[in-house]
């Protein structure tokens, strides 16, 4: 089976993860897909196939076909999709030979470069897999799953020498929990790659440092007709808090290495209110400056409205993997050469987000990120070129083959 057919199969399984659920995986559909993947791995001939009791992730091994001491390489992708858009009843279709114009996803929903979807200009003339305008597509990261699985099938049919290759299909990456229960020692790799990036050719080993913030507001409820000098409106104080934060440091006004403070959720009334944020920056000092801005805003309002009016809970969630990956430059150079071998120009870019690999790198498994080929993740305008699904398994194969003569990298991380 090729990667396209696999991808179209996998996206039919609803695997939206849920930040509100404490089970692992957070939703049953993820386990449904990892069980399907485990069956497929066994049918292909992978060994040591198992599903983690801890979080439902699926694992498999392609044994080395040589007695030479070669490094064990891992490839990872996550099965869950974002809560930002529905992943239920995904109905994909293929737009053949895209002409650069407007694509009608449905009778009322469309996208074109004129609407700001400039990624479409990169893929003129290609066949594109798109949504029907009601759900996300799921290329993040079922495209990565399909590409790794197809690479595994091709490798098992190959006679070229290679070391041990491990694959992992993780759960709950979209809610930041993918590595929480990941057993790096049992995975048994010297280094690995996540296949969870964007347009074909992208290679990433820098990501945001990340934090989350929950700001709680306590008010005093009084009948509005008798409220003077008595009422303390928590919802209004919450809006005042938001206005104290720098308006230019938001996702819609930043790019590249610029960080942001992103309001993701708000709720409340006169008596109590709550704001939730995510904070991101490639520079850890700048991230912590953002944290201080939020604490200072709370302190100001507590002085204005009284102690304990505003409570701030900040939590740092993951860090920039650059410092853990950069000492292993061969990972970057090997991936660049693999892209070139398939006629793809490699492009090293910073991730404006995070991956499982960011945290795994700090857990002792250096793990840069490779493209899947997808665009515009987490929404109804998501798409992926068919060519990317055809090319990425070959890129992954070339990485494996490159380490077929790489004794010098064996256990370098130990």
Number of H helices, E strands in the chain: 10, 17
Spatial CA neighbour of 398 closest among 154, 200, 168, 206: 154
**pLDDT of res. 412:** 44
Cα–Cα distance list, 196 to 18, 173, 392 (Å): 19, 10, 11
Spatial CA neighbour of 102 closest among 84, 127, 120, 76: 120
Per the CB < 8 A criterion, the answer to whether 355 and 206 are in contact is no
Q: What is the pLDDT of residues 320-334, one digit of tens each?
A: 999 999 999 999 999
Q: How far apart are CA 360 and CA 191, in angstroms?
A: 10
Q: Once rounded to an integer, what is the mean pLDDT over residues 208-225? A: 96
330, containing H or E segment? helix 329-341
**pLDDT of res. 414:** 35
Q: What is the pLDDT of residues 52-72, one digit of tens each?
A: 999 999 999 999 999 999 999
Q: What is the pLDDT of residues 267-315, one digit of tens each?
A: 999 999 999 999 999 999 999 999 999 999 999 999 999 999 999 999 9
Residue with tokens 């302190």: 299
Cα–Cα distance list, 245 to 119, 214, 229, 252 (Å): 31, 14, 26, 15
Q: Once rounded to an integer, what is the mean pLDDT over residues 348-369? A: 93
347, containing H or E segment? strand 347-348
296 annotated active-site: no
Spatial CA neighbour of 123 closest among 11, 196, 198: 198
Query: Which of 55, 83, 141, 173 is an active site residue?
Result: 173
Q: How far apart are CA 384 and CA 122, in angstroms?
A: 11
Sign of CA dihedral 350, 355, 357, 361: positive
Sign of CA dihedral 115, 121, 127, 128: negative
Per the CB < 8 A criterion, the answer to whether 92 and 131 are in contact is yes
**pLDDT of res. 261:** 98
80 annotated active-site: yes
Cα–Cα distance list, 100 to 147, 172, 354, 361 (Å): 26, 35, 31, 39
Q: Which residues of 270-290 are buried (b: 16+ CB within 10 A; e: fewer)?
A: beebbbbbbbbbbeeebbbeb
pLDDT category, 409, cuts 50, 70, 90? low
Q: How far apart are CA 64 and CA 205, in angstroms?
A: 27
Q: What is the pLDDT of residues 370-407, one digit of tens each?
A: 999 999 999 999 999 999 999 999 999 999 999 986 55
pLDDT > 70? residue 411: no
**pLDDT of res. 404:** 87
How much of the chain exceeds pLDDT 90, in percent? 94
Q: What is the pLDDT of residues 88-115, one digit of tens each?
A: 999 999 999 999 999 999 999 999 999 9
Where does 209-318 sit in CATH, by number? Answer: 3.30.70.360
Q: Break the chain into its structural domains and give their ranges.
A: 3-207+320-409, 209-318
Q: What is the pTM of this model?
A: 0.89
Where does 3-207+320-409 sit in CATH, by number? Answer: 3.40.630.10
Per the CB < 8 A criterion, the answer to whether 351 and 369 are in contact is yes
DSSP letter, residue 363: T
Per the CB < 8 A criterion, the answer to whether 27 and 21 are in contact is yes
Query: Which of 14, 40, 55, 80 is an active site residue?
Result: 80
Q: How far apart are CA 117 and CA 138, in angstroms?
A: 18
**pLDDT of res. 413:** 36
Per the CB < 8 A criterion, the answer to whether 380 and 82 are in contact is no
């Amino acid at each position: 089976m090729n990667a396209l057919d696999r991808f179209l199969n996998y996206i039919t399984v609803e695997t939206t993860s849920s930040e509100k659920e404490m089970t692992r995986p957070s939703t049953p559909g993820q386990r449904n897909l990892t069980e399907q993947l485990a069956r497929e791995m066994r049918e292909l001939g992978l060994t040591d196939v198992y599903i983690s009791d801890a979080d439902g992730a699926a694992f498999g091994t392609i044994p080395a076909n040589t007695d030479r001491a070669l490094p064990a390489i891992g490839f990872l992708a996550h099965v869950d999709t974002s809560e930002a858009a529905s992943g239920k009843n995904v109905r994909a279709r293929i737009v053949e030979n895209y002409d650069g114009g407007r694509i009608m996803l449905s009778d009322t929903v469309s996208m074109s470069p004129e609407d700001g979807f400039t990624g479409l200009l990169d893929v003129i003339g290609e066949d594109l897999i798109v949504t029907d305008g009601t759900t996300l597509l799921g290329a993040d990261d079922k495209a990565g799953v399909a590409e790794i699985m197809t690479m595994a099938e091709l490798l098992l049919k190959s006679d070229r020498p290679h070391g041990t290759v491990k694959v992992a299909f993780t759960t709950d990456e979209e809610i930041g929990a993918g590595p929480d229960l990941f057993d790096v020692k049992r995975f048994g790799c010297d280094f690995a790659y996540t296949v969870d990036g964007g347009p074909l050719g992208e290679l990433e080993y820098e990501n945001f440092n990340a934090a989350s913030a929950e700001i709680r507001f306590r008010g005093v409820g009084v009948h509005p007709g008798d409220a003077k000098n008595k009422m303390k409106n928590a919802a209004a104080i919450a809006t005042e808090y938001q206005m104290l934060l720098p308006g230019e440091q938001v996702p819609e006004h930043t790019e590249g290495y610029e960080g942001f403070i992103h309001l993701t959720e708000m709720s409340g009334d006169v008596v109590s209110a709550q704001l939730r944020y995510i904070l991101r920056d490639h520079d850890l000092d700048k991230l912590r400056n953002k944290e201080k801005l939020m604490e200072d805003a709370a302190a100001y309002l507590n002085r204005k409205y009284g102690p304990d009016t505003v409570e701030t809970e900040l939590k740092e969630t993951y860090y920039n993997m650059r410092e853990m990956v950069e000492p292993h430059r061969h990972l970057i150079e090997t991936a660049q050469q693999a892209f070139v071998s398939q006629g793809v120009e490699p492009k090293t870019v910073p991730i404006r987000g995070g991956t499982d690999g960011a945290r795994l790198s700090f857990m002792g498994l250096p793990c840069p990120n490779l493209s899947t080929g997808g665009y515009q993740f987490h929404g109804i305008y998501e798409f992926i070129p068919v060519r990317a699904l055809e090319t990425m398994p070959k890129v992954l194969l070339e990485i494996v083959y490159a380490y077929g003569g790489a004794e010098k990298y064996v256990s370098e991380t130990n």
